[in-house]
Amino acid sequence: MKHALLFLMLCFFSHASDAQEIQVYFSPNGGCEEAVISKINSAAKTIDIAMYYLSSANIAHALVRAQQRNAAIRIVLDQGQEIESASKSGYLIKHGFEIRYHLGFGLMHNKFAIIDGETLITGSFNWTQTAQERNEENLLIIHDESTISQYQQRFEYLWNTSRIDLRDARGLAAAPAWVCTTFHLFCGH
């Protein structure tokens, strides 16, 4: 009887910990932005981000704070974000971030971040105020080593096949963006 009780307790706690491996959020106003900021705020070492559209001031400010805590942050965005006026890429560059832009012919439509190699944030949720307040979107926070490893490999691919931003820290163009985009060059790299 004692062994059966111990076995049942182990099964229960095993399943209870599995339930904690994925957290689910929905927008509008379902806590997606707050969950992203909470995970950024918990970062101790690294944050790798592949994001189609990043225009949330709150998330950009959280990233700057994480950088000030000495977290190493790498960001790959869709190439349209380089000239998009609402994009926070220029703001982040002014704060010393290296931003890279995807060179593919289609959209870099990923929406994920890896925090300290232990937490994956993914889903349809763009890091924008519109996604937070109006769009029907979803966000998953996953703590599964195998899944995170696959996303990390994809991030490394995106990082290594993207080019750096063509603006200097003051936001001035270093080379015409169309040159690098059209000819798929690693300008300034």
pLDDT number for residue 168: 53
pLDDT at 174 over 60: no
Region 88-93: mean pLDDT is: 93
Nearest CA among 87, 55, 76, 61 for reference residue 151: 76
Region 136-159: mean pLDDT is: 97
For residues 103 and 79, is the Cβ–Cβ distance under 8 A? yes
Among 15-19, 34-38, 162-166, which is the least confidently predicted range? 15-19
pLDDT number for residue 167: 60
Reported pTM: 0.79
Cα-based distances in Å from 125 to 53, 94, 95, 101, 104: 9, 25, 24, 19, 21
Please name the residue that has the structure tokens 């195998």: 146
139's tokens? 């966000």
User: Residue 122: helix, strand or coil by DSSP?
Assistant: strand
Which is more confidently placed, 167 or 33?
Answer: 33
Which residues are identified as catalytic? 109, 111, 116
DSSP lists the bridge partners of residue 141 as 23, 121
For residues 161 and 108, is the Cβ–Cβ distance under 8 A? no
Tens digits of residue pLDDT in 65-74: 999 999 999 9
For residues 43 and 17, is the Cβ–Cβ distance under 8 A? no
What b/e sequence results for 91-123 when a residue is b if at least 16 CB atoms lie within 10 Å of its CB, and e otherwise? Answer: bbbebebebbbbbeeeebebbbbbbeeebbbbb
Which is more confidently placed, 72 or 4?
Answer: 72
Radius of gyration of the chain (CA): 19
